[in-house]
Amino acid sequence: MSTDNTIRLAEARSGDSSFGGSNNEPAIRTLPYNIEAEKALLGAIITDNRAFERVAEFLMAEHFAIPEHGRIFETCRTLIDRGQIANYVSLAPLFETDEVLSSIGGTNYLAELAGSAVTIINSGEYGRIIYDLHLKRELIHLGEDIVNEAFDPGVDVTATQQIEMAEQHLYDLATEGNYEGGFQDFQKSVLDALRMAETAHKREGALAGVTTGLKDLDQMLGGLHKSDLLILAGRPSMGKTALATNIAYNAAYSHFKSAGEEGAVVGFFSLEMSAEQLAARILSEQVELSSDKMRKGLLSNDEFVRLATISNSINRMPLFIDDTPALSISAIRTRARRLKRKHNLGLIVVDYLQLISANPGSRDNGRVQEVSEITRGLKTLAKELEVPVIALSQLSRAVEQRDPPRPQLSDLRESGSIEQDADVVMFIYREEYYLERKKPSHRADEDVSKFAEREGRWEDTLKRVKNTADVIIAKQRHGPIGDVKMAFIGEFTRFADLDPYHNDYDNRYDGGNE
C-alpha cells in the first residue's frame, strides 16, 4: 500500500489558513512538515540504534507530524531504554497486531522505513529538522490562540496580561526540548573559570561578581555572582529592604561610574513598597536627610535645594523599579527577560519572596508547594539570564523565642526549598533593636543603687551595639560562612562598612528602624 495514499497530515484548522485565493476561492495552506525526514530518521534508528542517541535528548514522539511515526519512535525509545534492540525483528509483531500501524501497511511499511534510512551521522540533523518543523506548527497554533483570545470579549484579563501570557508561552515553546545544552568539554570549563579569576585579579583581588558597594560584604561573598540565587532574610524592622536598596543603588552607581565595566544594570521588583517610596529611601541615603523629615515636609530651604541637586545627579543611574503588586513568577521572568534584551540587565532584586503570587495552575497545592515553585523559578531565572538574583524573605516568629534571637536556617518561613535552592542565605540581625525594647524598669522592691547598676549595664551594652547590624552568612556554596559586622544608620536607611572607631557613630547619628 502506497505511503502517500495512506498517510495524510491533518489539515490546518478550518478558516485559519484562508488568505484569499483567486476567483474568491480560499488558498489553503497546510501546516509545515517533512515526511521524508521522519521516515529517514526512523529508518536510521531501526537499522542502527546508535542513531537514537543523537536525538534522544530533545526529540519526543509528539514532535512528529505523523502520529503513527511518533508511535513508532516511542516504541523504539521504550525498547532501547529496556536494553533491548529496536529493529525489524522486534518491531514486526507490533506492526502485525496494532490496528493503527497495520492500517498504514504493517510490516511492509516497516521495511519501507528501513529502506529510507540515513547514516548515523546525519540522523541528528534530521531530528533537528523534525523538531524545528514541530516548533513552527506550534507557533501557528499559538498565534491562532492569541488572536482568538484577543477577539474574545469574555476574557477576564487585560491586554497587558495577555501579552505577558503570550511571552510566557513563547518562552516555554523555545525551551521545550532545548538541545543546546548537554556536556561541554573540560577545556571550556577551565577557560571559563580562568576568566572569572582574571576578572578578580584585575580588580586587585576584590571580587569577580557584581559589587554590593560594601567592602566587607564583598570580601566575604566575592561579589554577587551570575546565576546565583541569594536569599536575604530577617524579621520585620531588621533592615532587609534598606540593605537590598543600598546594594541595588551601589551596583547601578558602580556600573554608571565605570561606563559599564563594573557594577550592573539593576531590575528591582518592589512588591511591597511603591517606586516613589523606594526612590525616597535612596535619596535619603545619598543626601543624608531623614526620610521622615522628607515625608512630612520638614526640610529647610537649604536641605531641599541639596535634595533637588542630588536627585538631578543620580536620576540617570541604570536602576529600574517595577512596583506592580502580586506579580507571579512567570510575570517576573517575562519582565526580566525584556529588561535583559533592552538594557543588558545584570542584577535582579525581589522584595519580597512571600508576596510573589502563585501561577494559576498551582493555587491548590498549598502555600509550601507554591513557595517551592517560586524559589525554583527564581533560581531558574538566575541561570537563564546569567545574573545574580537577590530575593528578600520573611522569617518565622520562632526566631524571637530564642535568647538571643539570632536567626538560623530553620527559621526560613514556609519552605525548606528556600534553603535548598539558594546559593547564598544571609540573615540580618540587629541586637540594638531588641535591646531597646528591654530597657530595665525600676521594681518597687528594688534598691535604687541596684537598679542604677542594672540600668548602667544595659546602657553600656546598648552603646556597644548602637548603629550596628550583623549580616549572617549562614550558607554559601562557593565560600565561607560567618558574620559581617556593619554600620546601620536607621535615620537614613543606610548600611555601610563599620568604622573601626565605631563609637564615633554614637555622636554623629541616632539609631532607627527599617
How many residues in total does the chain contain?
514
Q: Is the pTM of this model over 0.75?
A: no
* Angle 397-401-407 from CA coordinates, rounded to 5°: 65
The per-residue pLDDT for 7 is 41
SS3 content of the chain, % helix, strand, coil (to 5): 55, 10, 35
Mean pLDDT for each 10-residue chunk of the chain (514 residues)?
40 36 57 90 89 85 89 88 86 78 77 82 87 90 86 72 78 64 62 66 63 88 89 87 90 83 87 84 80 75 81 83 85 86 91 78 65 86 91 84 82 73 90 80 76 79 84 88 87 79 44 40
With 0-12 / 13-18 / 19 or more C-beta atoms within 10 angstroms meaning exposed / middle / buried, residue 253 is: buried
The per-residue pLDDT for 99 is 76
Tell me the C-alpha to C-alpha distance, in Å, between residue 23 and each of 19, 20, 26, 226: 13, 9, 9, 60
The per-residue pLDDT for 513 is 40
Cell numbers linked to 481: 560562612
Nearest to 42 by CA among 88, 94, 11, 99: 88
pLDDT digits (tens, 9 = 90+) for 225-264: 888 999 998 888 888 888 999 999 999 988 888 776 778 8
Return the H-helix or E-strand segment holding 75. Answer: helix 67-81
SS3 332: helix
DSSP structure string for 275-330: HHHHHHHHHHHHHT--HHHHHHT---HHHHHHHHHHHHHHTTSSEEEE--TT-BHH
Q: What are the structural domain ranges in the chain?
A: 3-175, 207-427
User: Hey, what CATH topology would domain 207-427 get?
Assistant: Rossmann fold (3.40.50)
Strands 265-270 and 482-489, by their bridges, are: unpaired
pLDDT digits (tens, 9 = 90+) for 64-87: 998 889 888 988 888 888 888 888
Is residue 92 within 8 A of residue 46, CB to CB? The reply is no
Question: How many CB atoms sit inside 10 A of residue 165's CB?
Answer: 18
With 0-12 / 13-18 / 19 or more C-beta atoms within 10 angstroms meaning exposed / middle / buried, residue 410 is: exposed
pLDDT digits (tens, 9 = 90+) for 343-356: 889 999 998 888 88
Return the H-helix or E-strand segment holding 465. Answer: helix 448-465
SS3 4: helix
> Per CATH, is 3-175 categorized as 1.10.860.10?
yes
Question: How many CB atoms sit inside 10 A of residue 197's CB?
Answer: 11
Tell me the C-alpha to C-alpha distance, in Å, between residue 375 and each of 119, 330, 364: 44, 12, 18
The per-residue pLDDT for 200 is 57
The per-residue pLDDT for 59 is 87
